[in-house]
Amino acid sequence: MTTTISRNDLAGFNQTGFNQLLERRIDPVWLTQARKDAWAAFESMGWPNPRDENWMRSDLRGFKLDRYQPINESETQSVENAPVRLIQGVNVGGSLRSENGVVTTESLDPKYAAQGVIFGSLSRCARDHAELVKKYLHSQIDIHADRFAALQAAMWTDGYFLYVPKNVVVDKPLHIHAAMGDGKVDVTHVLVILEEGAETTVLFESTSPNDDAGGFHCGGLEFVLNARSNLRFVGLQDWGCGTWHFAHKRARVGQDANLQWTIAAMGSRFAQVDQQVALVGPGASSHVNGVMFTRDKQHLTYNTIQQHSAPHCTSDFLYKAVLQDRSRTVWRGMIKVDVGADKTDGYQRNDNLLLSDNARADSIPGLEIKADDVRCTHGSTSGRVDEELIFYAQSRGFTRVEAVRLIVTGFFQQIFDRVTIESVREALGVAIARQVRQYE
């Protein structure tokens, strides 16, 4: 039996809070040890240095960790009114829902379960499928990357584990919904393992009860794609605009495996996302799409790395942002090609459309190439929406707002064309149209 600890007894994200977390959890010994190691790493590090390349354009001054309380996962969590957008009209093969970082609903079509597919709470799977989780959890993310990576590894309350065995095809999309209440906390982890020849589609969305909701998300995400496997992953980040969002995301793509990854960032007041795709087997490929649409004083940072460690691999990153009001985006892209990774085909692009004079988009593409025979291209554009386009549409009867919405939708179309799932295209279209406000 678990002892109920009342809210008042909970400490924060500190030693006491960490000890309480260890006490109330039923983790395997190896996991407890991993948490302790991560906590030690957290304690040994300072907050990110503003001179660090990854953080120099991020302003953390408004962030106070002690304003947030770790979630007591032994208490019942419930988040009201957090809408789901990605699966309108979709027949899903399984779904997980978490509330304040604790999985409260798990389901999986029995036909997949019968084939050995595992899809469920990470806390539970760490006990029920210890060998698998132990092998892969935090195998890609460096917990010493920064304090948020260490804190996440030490204090995650739950997460989402997906394992698809060799040559198993999950032909219906799996859905994950992370709901976080206003002012609450979501410290979670996504772990997806595809064995050789496995195939699946995952639709992930994170939402708050309202557009202004606050909160603290500290997340980790790891994909391991073994040879010839195929993963389509869509993530819609739609937290309320008072939320702090920190995440480390890593994918490892094996021989002839393919990753199609779409990230749409609409919410949060501040987001710092480190995203890396490592191509580790010959013939591996990855297509990554990023959509950002910001307003008010939102500040979203994406640091992306395309790591080519094997020959004949393809990586194709396209990020597009539309900015309103006084919002700001930072995109740093880096293609790294190791010695011997010949015949690399690397592409990265970032386009930004500014709907306000007070918005700002920083775009910093980069290449680091140590192989001889490669083809790497990169580029970025930033500019105001063209008044001539607005006039043209107005002269055809569109109101000014309709004209701007049309131009914004057209701007993102190139990404929609790369998204092969219709419900996702529609959901993104709706989410984007909802964001366009009166444009002066």
Partner 1 sequence: MSHILRIENLHVAVDGKAILRGVNLEMKFGETHAMMGPNGSGKSTLGLAIAGHPNYVITEGTITLDGEDITEWEADQRARAGIFMAFQRPVAIPGVKTADFLRHAATNVRRPDRKEGEDLIPMREFRKELKAKMSQLKIDTEFARRYVNDGFSGGEMKRAEILTMAMLSPKFSILDETDSGLDADAVKLASASIAEIGRDKMGLLIITHHDKLLEHNPPQFTHVMLGGRIVETGGAELARELHDHGYDRIRKTYPDAEAANQEMLAKEEAVAV
Cβ 62 vs Cβ 160: under 8 Å: no
Distance between CA 344 and CA 199 in Å, rounded? 24
Question: Burial, 266: exposed, middle or buried (Cβ in 10 Å; 0-12, 13-18, 19+)?
Answer: buried
Shortest Å distance, C-beta 236 to partner 1: 20
Distance between CA 222 and CA 230 in Å, rounded? 15
Shortest Å distance, C-beta 410 to partner 1: 3
Q: Which two tokens stand for residue 303?
A: 């640091």
DSSP state of 283: T
Shortest Å distance, C-beta 335 to partner 1: 25
User: Total binding residues for partner 1 by CB under 8 A?
Assistant: 25
Measured from the CB atom, is 370 or 384 closer to partner 1?
384
SS3 317: strand
x/- mask, partner 1, residues 352-391, rule CB under 8 A, reads ----------------------------------xxxx-x
Measured from the CB atom, is 128 or 422 closer to partner 1?
422
x/- mask, partner 1, residues 48-87, rule CB under 8 A, reads ----------------------------------------
Shortest Å distance, C-beta 319 to partner 1: 16
Measured from the CB atom, is 13 or 411 closer to partner 1?
411
Of 232, 235, 251, 236, nearest in space to 306 by CA = 251
User: Exposure string (b/e) for 14-43, b if CB count within 10 Å is 16 or more?
Assistant: eeeebebbeebbebeeebeebbeebbebbe
DSSP state of 369: E
Measured from the CB atom, is 41 or 407 closer to partner 1?
407
Alpha helices in 333-399 (DSSP H): 387-394
Residue type, 393: A
Measured from the CB atom, is 139 or 399 closer to partner 1?
399
Shortest Å distance, C-beta 393 to partner 1: 7
x/- mask, partner 1, residues 399-428, rule CB under 8 A, reads xxxxx--xx-xxxxxx--------------
Shortest Å distance, C-beta 355 to partner 1: 16
Shortest Å distance, C-beta 388 to partner 1: 5
Distance between CA 151 and CA 149 in Å, rounded? 6
Single residue of 47, 392, 422, 430 touching partner 1 by CB under 8 A: 392
Q: Which two tokens stand for residue 378?
A: 């990169």
DSSP 55-81: TTT---TT--GGG-----TTS-----S
Q: Tell me how many degrees the CA angle 62-64-70 measures, rounded to the nearest 5.
A: 140
Query: Do the strands 314-323 and 285-294 form a parallel or antiparallel pair, or are they unpaired?
Result: parallel
Measured from the CB atom, is 161 or 411 closer to partner 1?
411
Measured from the CB atom, is 97 or 425 closer to partner 1?
425
Measured from the CB atom, is 130 or 389 closer to partner 1?
389
Shortest Å distance, C-beta 264 to partner 1: 16
Single residue of 247, 393, 404, 419 touching partner 1 by CB under 8 A: 393
Measured from the CB atom, is 51 or 396 closer to partner 1?
396
Indicate the length of the chain as a whole number.
Answer: 440
Distance between CA 383 and CA 322 in Å, rounded? 10
Shortest Å distance, C-beta 407 to partner 1: 6
Shortest Å distance, C-beta 364 to partner 1: 24
What are the residues whose beta carbons fall under 8 Å from the beta carbon of 359, sequence distance 6 or more?
A: 294, 323, 324, 325, 326, 327, 328
Measured from the CB atom, is 64 or 434 closer to partner 1?
434
User: Exposure string (b/e) for 396-408, b if CB count within 10 Å is 16 or more?
Assistant: eebeeeebbbbbb
Positions touching partner 1 (CB under 8 A) are 386-389, 391-403, 406-407, 409-414
